[in-house]
Structure 1
Amino acid sequence: MIKEELCNYSVPGNKFVIGGMSAAGTGAIRYAQYCSGQIKSTIKPIAVFAVDPPLDYERLWNEAEKSVQRNFNNDAVAEGKSIMTLLKTALHGTPGTNSSAYRIKSPFCYSAANGGNAYLLNNLALRLYIEPDIDWWIENRRKDYGDINAIDNAGLINQLKINGNKNAELIVSSHKGYREDGSRHPHSWSILDESELLDWCSRLFATMQ
């Protein structure tokens, strides 16, 4: 689909940015990593961004399992069950029975050396947006720091900086997360400043002139 759209709009294969929120953001990062690993490919994004994506599938499994066990919030329990089913099916087991699959497939993994697949983003501009409002997560979902995506995002950016990537940024907001209906939720698109993101993209494109 990306190849088709690049052709339709006559966009060079290395002059586009890919991104998304939550699991879509995870997919965008994995796609960027895939492109990075294809030496002969003519399609490679110049940058990737993601809003609060889960990146470490081991941690995500543990979070989902704890949400089900705690049985505090119906949405958290339903999401936990769904995530566990999805991961168990896609990765052919749990972290306890098939840990290597979780490490190999995760965009970033704490238990893997140097963050696992993090190195595939060493030469790519990357922005991750998070709003780690831990008070909200505790009060509304009974989740702590180990249960939220912010820990993955911070870990990946830190590893990339260790690897020498000077274009890896962690954008941390406060009290910007609200859903379209006005309800408070730190895991929301609204933590991203769209105008500022477009400026960032424009600056990156300008360096290619």
Structure 2
Amino acid sequence: MKKLLKFFSVITLIFSSTLSIAQTNGTEKNRISTDFYELYRPNTTEVVLVLFGGYPENAEDIEREFAITNLANKKNIAVAYLNYSGKLWLEENDKIELAESINELFKSNNLPTKKIYFGGFSSGGNMALLISNFLIENSNKIKPTGVFIVDSPIDLAALYQSAEKNIKSNFSEPAVQEAKWIISNLNENFGEPDNNLLKYEKYSVFTSLTNEINNLKDLKNTKIRFYTEPDTLWWKKNRKADYDQMNAYYIKKLSEKLKNSGFDQIEYIPTENKGYRANGERHPHSWSIVDKEELLQWMLEK
């Protein structure tokens, strides 16, 4: 084993990536690491799961908060945790570059392309939906079979308005600081929603004010899951936030809009008391609201 590890160290210097073999519960899996991703691939791979973290999560953070590697690998599902976050939307050049990086991930690791799933937490869910639509729209070889999001801020105009309320109420320091960052970021790129709604529609996953879903139009035949934990009591107590300030409110509205628009593979999955961070902190805005075992079964369905 020491000789094997030494050999892989040499490979690291040559290709600027790392490859190791780990033994976990009797299941052998390969770990491939680059600046863009951490990939865990079982010897036999039938399905690939690509995960986007929320701001500012990297691959390591996603692994910690959503430890799905072992469960997935046992079912011959490869998992790629991406080092791609810090965005609420994707510009056209972002989509092109991200698509190229994802294609390279699959090509360089000889991953199967028959069943591919994208998922993301918080802003990472926006990334998962937007890039999935782009890949299908452009007839890319990498086409998602399904996409899921975890409590994502899908409506940017609503996010702006919620941030304004948080600053005005001045109840929670974390909420106020986040709100200032959101408004500064959106103002710099789009301006205020009241006067620039078209810009918000162009880049947002969903705009509830106008029921705009154009950025998802090519996902009509794609399986989509919306996970959220609408704990109104927690948000009122800890952030003094109303229901219409929560991601859950707009996620539910989007799921209803898509179903009414002929999207017949939509699942809205609200949870109760499942939101906890890896450190044990109670928070409904967490990866943990997803039932990992049940998610994998959904991915394996024919």
Structure 1 CA distance for aligned equivalents of residues 206 and 126 of structure 2: 10
Q: What is the aligned partner in structure 1 of residue 178 from structure 2? A: 79
Structure 2 CA distance for aligned equivalents of residues 61 and 36 of structure 1: 29
Structure 2 residue 263 is the aligned partner of structure 1 residue 156: no
Q: Which has the higher strand share?
A: 2
Deviation at 1:113, TM superposition (A): 4.5
SS at match of 1:64: helix
Residues 1-209 of structure 1 aligned to structure 2 (within 5 Å) = 1-38=101-138, 40-91=139-190, 93-113=191-211, 115-203=213-301, 207=302
Structure 2 CA distance for aligned equivalents of residues 119 and 143 of structure 1: 31
Structure 2 residue identity aligned to 1:108: F
RMSD, aligned CA: 1.5
Structure 2 CA distance for aligned equivalents of residues 180 and 74 of structure 1: 22
SS at match of 1:180: coil
Name structure 2 gaps, 5 residues minimum: 1-100
CA-to-partner distance for each residue in 1:132-177, whole Å, 9 max, x for gaps? Answer: 0000100110001110001121112111211222211011110111
Higher RCO, 1 vs 2 (CA within 8 Å, ≥6 residues apart): 1
CA-to-partner distance for each residue in 1:76-127, whole Å, 9 max, x for gaps? Answer: 0011011111222233x12023111001211111122454434332111101
Q: Calculate the TM-score normalised by the size of structure 2.
A: 0.64
Q: Calculate the TM-score normalised by the size of structure 1.
A: 0.91
Structure 1 CA distance for aligned equivalents of residues 112 and 255 of structure 2: 27
Question: Do the aligned residues in 2 keep the contact of 1:118 with 1:156 (CA within 8 Å)?
Answer: no
Q: 4+ residue stretches of structure 1 with deviation over 6 A?
A: none
Structure 1 CA distance for aligned equivalents of residues 276 and 112 of structure 2: 35
Structure 1 CA distance for aligned equivalents of residues 220 and 149 of structure 2: 16
Structure 2 CA distance for aligned equivalents of residues 80 and 114 of structure 1: 24
Structure 1 residue identity aligned to 2:254: L
Question: Do the aligned residues in 2 keep the contact of 1:121 with 1:160 (CA within 8 Å)?
Answer: no
SS at match of 1:186: coil
Deviation at 1:14, TM superposition (A): 4.9
Alignment coverage as a number of residue pairs: 202
Name structure 1 gaps, 5 residues minimum: none
Residues 120/94 of structure 1: CA separation in 2 closer, same or farther (3 Å cut): farther
Structure 2 CA distance for aligned equivalents of residues 116 and 88 of structure 1: 22
Structure 1 residue identity aligned to 2:244: G
CA-to-partner distance for each residue in 1:1-26, whole Å, 9 max, x for gaps? Answer: 21111113323445211111000111
SS at match of 1:176: coil
SS at match of 2:234: helix
Q: Which has the higher helix share?
A: 1
